[in-house]
Structure 1
Amino acid sequence: MIAILDIDGTLVDSNYQHALAWFRALRDHGVIAPIWKLHRAIGMGGDQLVTHVVGEEVEKRLGDAVRESQGEHYATMIDEVQPLEGSRELVLALKGAGHTIVMASSAKPEEVDHYLDLLAARTLADAWTGAGDVEQTKPEPDLVLAALEKAAALREEDGDLAGEAVMIGDSVWDVEAAARAKVTTYAVLTGGFSEAELTEAGAEKVFGSVQELVDRLSETDLC
């Protein structure tokens, strides 16, 4: 199987730092957005989030500047981000089971590098993607499709591998992106979305945490 792992909010506890960074970035440019609304948009890529939260007019006028500011603000907080319980154990379990592991994130490449080191997973992951690998980020399917392409290249296989893949994520945006790529999703509650929301978005199974997923891995196609 191919295990496609979201990072932010799934393997590392970064969603609140991201929400605060977006709030500060928008405020820098004279736009105040409710942090609760920003938090519920985390999991989207920056190319999608500004329009989703504050509208197309702000995106057209300030989008690139806001994204640059967000990166600067988040960089001051990234050292506060910690792995979520069970994250490394999950990666080790998937590796031990012989699955191809692709980290698929909307994060900037330098942030993905930081997380790989934080999780001590650089030698465990077979490949990884980031926002720079695709034209559109989640909830568009580009990142999931890019992850499948990387897995296909590693396996030296052609054809559609979606049926051999599982996405693990924490947001409805992860689930929607995977569904558009025809990939099954197992979701965790660490992103702040409810079990009902994740199930309605299309998640096959929902677990309370990454650790619970590890403990119940035998109930999935990844055992």
Structure 2
Amino acid sequence: MTQPPLPFAPEILRFLKRHHYERVTPRAALIDMDGTLYDSMKNHTRAWHRLMTELGVECTREEFYLYEGRTGASTINALFQRQFGRNATDEEKTSLYQRKTEYFRELPPVLPMEGALDMLSVFREVGMQRVLVTGSGQQSVLDNISRDFPGMFDDDKRITARNVTHGKPHPEPFIKAMQLARVSPSQSIVVENAPLGVEAGDRAGAFTIGVTTGPIPREAMEEAGAAVVFSSMPEFAHMLPSLLLSLLTITSDY
């Protein structure tokens, strides 16, 4: 009697073929912060939009969702190039990011994303390392990780804007996270909510999962390289055990 296919088999097989892997053996979860662990993107977009409009930069709040994953300096340079035809100076980048951080702090406190703790609990229960990988350098948000997700991240398992030369979509943040966890790309799972982060994870060779927690459509996540896309964090947390089982079972000749 033919056995029914395992969940996510087509997506896993496409990923294995595209990356020329025999299998994925998950040992580490490399997890984004803003929009993934925290419902913080509304505040970030408001703070960035306020800052840039004060400078005379033509922009919309919505476009800052697409910049998520970049370092603050990279975001400032991208908008300066578009509006003024030049990069910001180091002094400008430092002072402007400080202003953006101040505007962010004036907004209501951000809350953990619904389902995020459940997701982390699954990774912990199966013995996978959890590494925080964020383009943020905003200490006020980073300080909340231990309080909101106790026991989920070791202090030395974090890659932030301070640890990289190139932010997302460059693969460097995830490559450094793999080195920190001492795992290979085929032993890594990336969890992201934005196309730039998805692209970075896929370019690093990880099985990259997109979760559409904001206004970005799933098609944008798929085009960026997401192997699987979920419509919410609770849905992802619920389906994660079956996805991990399938990853451990399915090989390229399945």
Instruction: Give the TM interval when normalised to the shorter protein.
Output: 0.7 to 0.9
Q: Which residue of 1 aligns with 2:152?
A: 124
Deviation at 1:118, TM superposition (A): 4.6
Structure of greater relative contact order (alpha carbons < 8 Å, 6+ residues apart): 2
Contact 2:221/2:229 (CA < 8 Å) preserved in 1?
A: yes
> CA 1:185/1:93 → structure 2, altered by over 3 Å: closer, same or farther?
same
What TM-score, normalized to structure 1? 0.87
Q: Which residue of 1 aligns with 2:69?
A: 43
2:167 is equivalent to residue 137 of structure 1: yes
Give 1 or 2: higher helix fraction: 1
Q: Which residue of 1 aligns with 2:4?
A: none
Could you list the runs of 5+ residues in structure 2 that have no partner in the other structure? 1-26, 247-254
Deviations, residues 165-223 of structure 1 (Å, cap 9, x unaligned): 01000000111111221112111001322111101111010011111011111332378
1:74 to 93, 101, 104: 104
Matches within 5 A, 1:75-114: 75-77=105-107, 80-108=109-137, 110-114=139-143
Q: Which residue identity is paired with 1:214? A: A
Contact 1:109/1:130 (CA < 8 Å) preserved in 2?
A: no
Structure label with greater radius of gyration: 2
2:223 is equivalent to residue 200 of structure 1: yes
What TM-score, normalized to structure 2? 0.77
Q: 3-state SS of the aligned residue for 2:177?
A: helix
Deviations, residues 101-155 of structure 1 (Å, cap 9, x unaligned): 101111115145333035233x221311211011121111121112112111xxx
> CA 1:113/1:184 → structure 2, altered by over 3 Å: closer, same or farther?
same
Deviation at 1:58, TM superposition (A): 5.2
Distance, in Å, in 1 between the alignment partners of 2:207 and 2:214 is 18
4+ runs of 1 displaced by more than 4 Å? none
Q: Which residue identity is paired with 1:188? A: V
What do you get for the CA RMSD once the two structures are aligned? 2.1
Q: Which moved more, 1:37-46 or 1:6-15?
A: 37-46
Identity %: 24
Provide the aligned length of Structure 1 versus Structure 2.
Answer: 214
Q: Which residue identity is paired with 2:129? A: T
Distance, in Å, in 2 between the alignment partners of 1:70 and 1:20 is 9
2:213 is equivalent to residue 184 of structure 1: no
Q: Which residue identity is paired with 1:142? A: E
